[in-house]
Amino acid sequence: MELVKPKKDYLDSYYQGCVENWGHVHDNYIIHNPKEYENWKDTIFDDFKAQANGQNLPDGFLANITYWLIENDEYIGTVNIRPTLNNALIEYGGTFGIVIKNSKRKRGYGKKAVELVFKKLKELNISPIIFTCEESNTASWHLCEYFNYKKKDLYTTMINGELTPARRYWF
C-alpha cells in the first residue's frame, strides 16, 4: 500500500469508494458525494491543489493536503493532513484524518495507513502530531493505543452541536 497524491488513474476506484462509504463516515468532507459525481469529477484535482494552498475552503477550515491510500491500483482510503492547526483543530480534528473503505476495514489497513501518515508527517516536518476521535469511535482510538503516543486527553467537546466524549492523542 502507498500514500499518493490523488490522480486520474484512480478516479474510478475513488468514486467506488465514495459510493461505498457515503453516509457511513462521520465527516463527509473527507470524501465526495457520489450522487454529485458529474459536478466534481472534472474539478476534483484542482480542488485538492487549491485546498493544499489554503484556497476555496469552507469557513474555519485550514489548508489540508489530500492523499489516497492505494494498493494494486485500488483506492483503499483517504488521508487529509493539516500542516497547521488552529484552536478548533487542536480541540477536535487534529493533524490528520483517515477514512478506510468499509470493505477494507478490520484488515490492518488503518494501522498501515497511520504508519504511512507518520512517515509523511516526518518528511513534511510537521510536529506536534495530534489525533482526535469520538469516544464511541473505538476503531480509531484502539489504533492510536497501538502507537506510541506521548499524551492522551479524555475530554468532552461540542460536535455537531452536542457535547460528546472524545479522545485526543499527542504523538
Rounded to whole angstroms, the Cα distance separating 11 from 158 reads 34
CA 160 to chain centroid, in Å, comes to 18
The per-residue pLDDT for 28 is 57
In the numeric block, the cell 472524545 is attached to 166
Mean pLDDT estimate for the chain: 93
CA dihedral 100, 112, 94, 64 (to 10 degrees): -70
Tens of pLDDT, residues 15-54: 999 999 987 765 556 789 999 999 999 999 999 999 999 9
- For residue 110, the SS3 value is helix
The per-residue pLDDT for 25 is 66
Rounded to whole angstroms, the Cα distance separating 101 from 14 reads 10
Cβ partners under 8 Å of residue 156, min gap 6 = 163, 164, 165, 166
The per-residue pLDDT for 115 is 96
